[in-house]
Amino acid sequence: MSSGSAVATHAHNDEFNPFLSMQKGFDTAADHLGLEQGVRKVLSMPDRELTVNVPVLMDNGKVEVFTGHRVQHNTLRGPSKGGIRFSPDVDIDEVRALAAWMTWKCSVVNVPFGGGKGGVICDPRSMSIGEQERLTRRYTTAILDIIGPDRDVPAPDMNTNEQTMAWIMDTYSMHERKTSTAVVTGKPLSIGGSRGRLEATGRGVMISANEALKMIGLRPEDTRVVVQGAGNVGGLGAMLLHREGYRITSISDMYGYIVNERGLDMPAVLNHLREKRTLEGFDGADYSTDGKAQLELDCELLVPAATENQITTENVDRIKARLIVEGANGPTTAAASEALSKRGVTVVPDILANAGGVTVSYFEWVQDRMGYFWTEEIVNSRLEQIMVQAFAEVRQTSEKFGVDLRTGAYILSIGRVASVYRMRGIFS
């Protein structure tokens, strides 16, 4: 009896392991591509992993030691690229998976980067600004040897922002003895940031939704939208969808969600969120703290834009949306994704839908290296051009192989990286 339950628990844990989820997508695509065993091995493993233990002097005079990771999954197509997150939940498997997803994401939109990711195990909400700065600078110094404009270009992620990037850029520049703006993206405009960067991921979600709607024959005005998450991706994505004529019926933050079947006034919602730092108390919508129930609301379009492992085998049968556009990384487990595909639900996968952020990060890196900066109109129009093209290529690939969009995206991106690997060969 006990051994059976242990097996069930193990299988359950496997479903929630983001690295195994990523690996499943990789293996399926590799099978379709007929990738030879050696190429599979090379592309499924990270190039380099660095784990550092970072001492930080806290405000109370004590020294704490924080563990940080930086994983460079692949640099065949260019420098590795990916965010740095500060969270108590950071673990090496998660960072590996996110680094690999970045490789496939950059390849899907044909941006000349490989994938990287970083994370520090800490709770920034319990730390002062001074403590966060000291942690950031010491972590940067610890990973200094493997980052750089031509090596590995970090960016903001969960619980990090443009201020964090400014500290990293300054620390790196001090060691290089010159101002090196291209070492990170997602910086403040005043030190080499790009216009349009803040809303880039949300804009990519909106463009993906527009393209997917054409594919399944829906119009924005007939589309009820449920958005999980109210940050840069969820909040700004919902605002952009609202402007396009979609009816946003629900949005959530980390505490709960609001719902109004007639549609939410998104500018008013975001104003309320800025002032109160919570959706609770928003006039003109019902409020609930049962976050899991939000995903099961009646809607045509569901945008999970919070964190990974939100749509799982536990709730997938209760998901009512016809279309899911993944704003977060890995919000749907591999097993749930298969179930949705069998039911005929269209899923625009994370490596395509949220690639707007890395695309404009690439624009920022290019502008920093040129020392010449573009208008927001140019940034947005170039982003749209790349995202529409990528969506069309993913759709064509999925139709050619007779697979869903997620598998099509993996086949397209892995095929591109594999062809570069074959061209470059093995140096020995």
Active site residues: 117
Q: For 127, which DSSP code? A: S
What lies within 8 Å, CB to CB, of 174 at 6+ separation is none
404: enclosing H helix or E strand: none
**Phi and psi for 248 in degrees, rounded to 5?**
-80, 110
Using CA atoms, how far residue 134 sits from 124, 129, 139, 172, 183, in Å, is 12, 9, 8, 14, 19
Cα gap 246→224, rounded to integer Å: 7
Q: Are 391 and 352 in contact (CB under 8 A)?
A: yes
Task: Retrieve residue 367's tokens.
Answer: 């502008």
Cα gap 419→403, rounded to integer Å: 21
- Bridge pairing between strands 114-121 and 80-87: parallel
Q: Are 90 and 119 in contact (CB under 8 A)?
A: yes
Q: Are 339 and 317 in contact (CB under 8 A)?
A: yes
Cα gap 247→254, rounded to integer Å: 22
Q: Which of 383, 409, 407, 406 is nearest to 394 (CA)?
A: 409
User: Tokens 């991921």 appear where?
Assistant: 201
Up-side HSE of residue 248: CA atoms within 13 Å toward CB?
32
Query: Diameter of the chain by CA atoms?
Result: 67
Is 373 in a helix, a strand, or coil?
coil
Q: Are 235 and 242 in contact (CB under 8 A)?
A: no
Task: Retrieve residue 358's tokens.
Answer: 């890395």
**Phi and psi for 106 in degrees, rounded to 5?**
-60, -40
What lies within 8 Å, CB to CB, of 167 at 6+ separation is 133, 136, 137, 140
Q: Are 118 and 85 in contact (CB under 8 A)?
A: yes
User: Tokens 């293996």 appear where?
Assistant: 27
